[in-house]
């Protein structure tokens, strides 16, 4: 009897496995067909079309090809690449078949550097004489900042609009670590290097409060000035509306001039028909961005190339992963661009809060070598802080948005002593045998000795001295002057320019123009982006390999797997870091 039960269970398991396998193969085949179809499909843009920009997903610097983006998969949201999106908007401005843009935006999944780049793309599009209409049921603060650049801003009558200034919230973990018997061992240089404060305090330090207050005040000032110009409202009046939160509902949003009308979706459609000179029953020729972008082809036959090397994410040693900057991958791309005679200039597009100090320095060296051969221009996005600034400081010219967050020239080192946690909570103990006075310098299984702590502090100070001296040389200023604006303090792009850390306030296109002019190819060049983004299947296969490794570890470690994951996460923060002093959540 037991034999038949086991046999039937095995058959059932095999059947389920077969069904799953067939499903996976089917999905892959559909994806391959869709990918081939998309690449070969000739996109036909109809006359009197409206470019529909529905920005409801994350916005990254570049984007990964997704063969399933046109399929109606529930809950699937693809990331939108900022640079390809701006290119499509620029193309639409000159496309006679595009009448205007319909912008649909609720919550912007990007920072204020990205937001300002989008605003400028919309403003440039309007210079062609075409219109932009924005509509939403709810505008977050950042979403409204982008939408306010449109000719008309509409809001659902029962929706909402957030316009009450900016705030920053910092999460602190000290009490959690106290409960878990985890002891951070911290080494830092500079009064403002507050990335480690969440591990050692349960509140903000006076220095951190000061820098955050000045940061968001300057950032908000730029937002107010931009919205005031777009909406034709006095900046002082807008500041009063935000400070006193006079917009509490849709009616007050309209009364104070932040929106033009309170419309339902059908009323917005009728407004678009009127602009297109259509009858009330006519269908609007909407063309979505993910389709329209396939009609945007590089037509330049120039032999002069400007290489755009994208650094998007936190900085780690080794090969790059999706959403991370790997020093090996980045350095290799720089070497290729430096030695390629067709590449006349390099633009580094940086969107990074920093990370590993060593990895940052490895990439800095390659940037420095590249500047000896051809122009290298830095273009800052949302962040170019700490390790992100480390990349920029070797460039010939640094271009940032006023809303970019940069600086944070400082270093910290942190190691987590988890010996009490492992002993008291898990019953795991360790013992070390060593040949000298100093043991393993990167460890979570015991506290550091006094001698080892002194070594770590000295290392941290040496890295800081290297960071500041190289930054001073790159900015052509005395080290003492550079250190006066360092100490780990963050600045907006506007503040950074005033302090000499940034050369030009502008967007990505401005950086490209500077690069082309410096290389004497201003009227004859083409852009190419590196690293070339992995396609969907490369990303999927890489993820499958990682998942397989994770499954093996989970089977081996059993109930200790979650603890292993936490230890691994903490270990990524260990060692010398050139990292922004906090994870910004500006609201």
Cα 372 from Cα 390, distance rounded (Å): 17
Burial class (CB in 10 A: 0-12, 13-18, 19+), 3: exposed
470 token code pair: 């190289």
Position 185 in a domain: no
pLDDT in the model for residue 371 = 97
Position 398 in a domain: yes
Indicate whether 395 and 274 sit together in one domain.
no
405 or 551, greater pLDDT: 405
- Residue 482 pLDDT greater than 90, yes or no: yes
- Residue 538 pLDDT greater than 60, yes or no: no
End-to-end CA separation in angstroms for the chain? 65
Domain limit, last residue, from 267, 295, 323: 295
581 or 474, greater pLDDT: 474
Position 586 in a domain: no
Helices (H), 427-486: 450-475, 479-483
pLDDT in the model for residue 185 = 92
pLDDT in the model for residue 554 = 53
pLDDT in the model for residue 297 = 73
Indicate whether 151 and 269 sit together in one domain.
yes
Indicate whether 64 and 160 sit together in one domain.
yes
Q: Which domain holds residue 285?
A: 43-164+245-295
Domain limit, last residue, from 263, 295, 327: 295
Lowest mean pLDDT among 130-139, 499-508, 566-575: 566-575
pLDDT in the model for residue 561 = 45
Indicate whether 324 and 259 sit together in one domain.
no
Lowest mean pLDDT among 88-92, 305-309, 372-376, 543-547: 543-547
Per-residue pLDDT band for 330 (boundaries 50, 70, 90) equals: very high
- Residue 571 pLDDT greater than 90, yes or no: no
Cα 465 from Cα 536, distance rounded (Å): 43
Coarse DSSP helix, strand, coil percentages of the chain, rounded to the nearest 5 percent: 45, 20, 35
Indicate whether 362 and 504 sit together in one domain.
yes
Average pLDDT of the residues in 554-561: 52
Cα 559 from Cα 557, distance rounded (Å): 6
pLDDT in the model for residue 586 = 58
pLDDT digits (tens, 9 = 90+) for 528-537: 999 876 555 5
Position 416 in a domain: no
pLDDT in the model for residue 345 = 98
Indicate whether 542 and 573 sit together in one domain.
yes
Position 366 in a domain: yes
Indicate whether 271 and 402 sit together in one domain.
no
CB atoms within 10 A of CB 46: 10
Portion of the chain with pLDDT greater than 90, in percent: 67
Cα 448 from Cα 326, distance rounded (Å): 29
- Residue 568 pLDDT greater than 70, yes or no: no
Domain limit, last residue, from 236, 270, 295: 295
Average pLDDT of the residues in 170-196: 86
Cα 118 from Cα 503, distance rounded (Å): 22
Strand residue runs (E) in 125-250:
131-139, 152-161, 183-189
Indicate whether 486 and 570 sit together in one domain.
yes
510 token code pair: 């401005």
Q: How far is the CA of 501 from the CAs of 365, 399, 495, 538, in angstroms?
A: 19, 10, 9, 38
Element (H, E) at 27: helix 2-40
* Cβ-based neighbours of 420, under 8 Å, separated by 6 or more: 181, 182, 183
Position 85 in a domain: yes
pLDDT in the model for residue 62 = 87
In this structure, the dihedral spanned by the alpha carbons of residues 362, 367, 368 and 371, taken in order and rounded to 10 degrees, is 170
Per-residue pLDDT band for 15 (boundaries 50, 70, 90) equals: low
Task: Give me the chain's average pLDDT, please.
Answer: 86
pLDDT in the model for residue 520 = 97
Residue with tokens 């996460």: 569
pLDDT in the model for residue 438 = 86
Per-residue pLDDT band for 477 (boundaries 50, 70, 90) equals: very high
Indicate whether 290 and 395 sit together in one domain.
no
∠ CA(496), CA(512), CA(303), 5° rounding? 155
Q: How far is the CA of 216 from the CAs of 113, 211, 228, 403, 409, in angstroms?
A: 13, 9, 18, 10, 19
Query: Quick one: which of 212, 183, 70 has its CA closest to 415?
Result: 183
Helices (H), 41-158: 82-94, 112-126, 141-147
Indicate whether 290 and 314 sit together in one domain.
no
Position 487 in a domain: yes
CATH of the domain at 481: 3.90.226.10
Q: How far is the CA of 550 from the CAs of 34, 273, 554, 557, in angstroms?
A: 30, 53, 6, 10
Residue with tokens 């090969």: 319
- Residue 409 pLDDT greater than 80, yes or no: yes
The DSSP output letter for 491 is E
- Residue 385 pLDDT greater than 70, yes or no: yes
Q: Note the pTM of the prediction, 2 decimals.
A: 0.84
Lowest mean pLDDT among 60-69, 292-301, 356-365: 60-69
64 or 291, greater pLDDT: 291
Pairing relation of β-strands 397-400 and 504-505?
Answer: parallel
Cα 268 from Cα 78, distance rounded (Å): 26
Portion of the chain with pLDDT greater than 70, in percent: 81
480 is catalytic: no
Residue with tokens 């090996």: 328
Question: Strand 411-417's sheet: what is its strand order?
Answer: 183-189, 411-417, 575-579, 354-356, 314-316, 324-326
Average pLDDT of the residues in 30-38: 48
Position 72 in a domain: yes
Burial class (CB in 10 A: 0-12, 13-18, 19+), 305: buried
Cα 248 from Cα 399, distance rounded (Å): 37
CB-based contact 99:50 (threshold 8 Å): yes
CB-based contact 446:430 (threshold 8 Å): yes
Domains in the chain: how many in total?
Answer: 2
Q: Report helix, strand or coil for 130.
A: coil
Which is the catalytic residue, given 386, 408, 413, 487? 386
Indicate whether 322 and 362 sit together in one domain.
yes
Indicate whether 257 and 149 sit together in one domain.
yes
Average pLDDT of the residues in 442-467: 92
Strand residue runs (E) in 396-511:
397-400, 405-407, 411-417, 490-492, 504-505
């Amino acid at each position: 009897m037991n034999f038949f039960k086991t046999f039937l269970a095995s058959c059932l398991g095999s059947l389920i496995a077969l069904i799953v396998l067939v499903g996976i193969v089917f999905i892959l085949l559909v994806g391959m067909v869709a990918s081939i179809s998309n690449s070969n499909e000739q996109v036909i843009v109809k006359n009197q079309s409206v470019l529909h920009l529905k920005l409801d997903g994350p916005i990254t610097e570049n984007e990964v090809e997704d063969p399933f983006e046109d399929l109606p998969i529930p809950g699937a949201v693809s990331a939108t690449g900022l640079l390809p999106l701006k290119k499509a908007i620029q193309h639409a401005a000159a496309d006679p078949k595009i009448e205007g843009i319909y912008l649909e935006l609720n919550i912007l999944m990007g920072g204020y550097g990205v937001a300002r780049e989008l605003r400028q793309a919309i403003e440039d599009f309007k210079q062609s004489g075409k219109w932009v209409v924005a509509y939403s049921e709810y505008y977050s603060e950042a979403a409204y900042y982008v939408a306010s650049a449109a000719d008309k801003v509409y809001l659902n009558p029962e929706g909402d609009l957030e316009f009450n200034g900016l705030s920053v919230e910092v999460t602190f973990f000290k009490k959690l670590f106290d409960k878990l018997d985890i002891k951070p061992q911290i080494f830092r240089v500079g009064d403002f290097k507050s990335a480690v404060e969440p591990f050692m305090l349960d509140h903000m330090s006076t220095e951190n409060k000061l820098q955050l207050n000045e940061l968001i005040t300057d950032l908000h000032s730029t937002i107010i000035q931009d919205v005031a110009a777009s909406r034709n409202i006095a900046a002082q009046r807008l500041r009063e509306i935000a400070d006193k939160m006079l917009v509490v509902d849709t009616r007050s949003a309209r009364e104070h001039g932040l929106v033009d009308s309170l419309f339902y979706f059908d009323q917005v459609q009728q407004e678009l028909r009127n602009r297109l000179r259509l009858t009330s029953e006519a269908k609007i020729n909407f063309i979505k961005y993910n389709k329209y972008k396939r009609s945007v082809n590089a037509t330049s036959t120039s032999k002069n190339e400007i290489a755009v090397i994208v650094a998007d994410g936190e900085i780690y040693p080794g090969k790059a992963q999706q959403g991370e900057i790997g020093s090996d991958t980045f350095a290799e791309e720089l070497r290729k661009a430096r030695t390629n005679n067709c590449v006349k200039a390099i633009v580094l597009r940086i969107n990074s809060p920093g990370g590993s100090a060593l990895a940052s320095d490895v990439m800095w060296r390659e940037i420095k070598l590249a500047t000896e051969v051809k122009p290298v221009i830095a273009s800052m996005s949302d962040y170019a802080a700490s390790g992100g600034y480390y990349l920029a400081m070797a460039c010939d010219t640094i271009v940032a948005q006023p809303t970019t967050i940069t600086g944070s020239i400082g270093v910290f080192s942190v190691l987590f002593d988890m010996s009490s946690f492992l002993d008291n909570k898990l019953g795991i103990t360790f013992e070390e045998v060593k040949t000298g006075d100093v043991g393993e310098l990167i460890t979570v299984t015991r506290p550091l000795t006094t001698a080892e702590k002194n070594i770590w502090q000295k290392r941290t100070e040496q890295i800081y001295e290297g960071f500041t001296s190289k930054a001073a040389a790159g900015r052509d200023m005395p080290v003492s002057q550079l250190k006066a604006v360092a100490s780990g303090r963050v600045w907006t792009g506007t503040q950074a320019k005033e302090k000499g850390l940034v050369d030009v306030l502008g967007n990505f296109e401005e950086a490209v123009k500077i690069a082309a002019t410096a290389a004497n190819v201003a009227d004859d060049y083409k852009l190419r982006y590196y690293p070339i983004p992995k396609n969907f299947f490369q990303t999927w296969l890489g993820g499958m390999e990682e998942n397989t490794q994770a499954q093996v570890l989970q089977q081996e470690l059993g109930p200790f797997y979650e603890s292993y994951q936490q230890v691994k996460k903490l270990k990524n923060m260990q060692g010398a870091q050139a990292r922004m002093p906090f994870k910004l959540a500006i609201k």
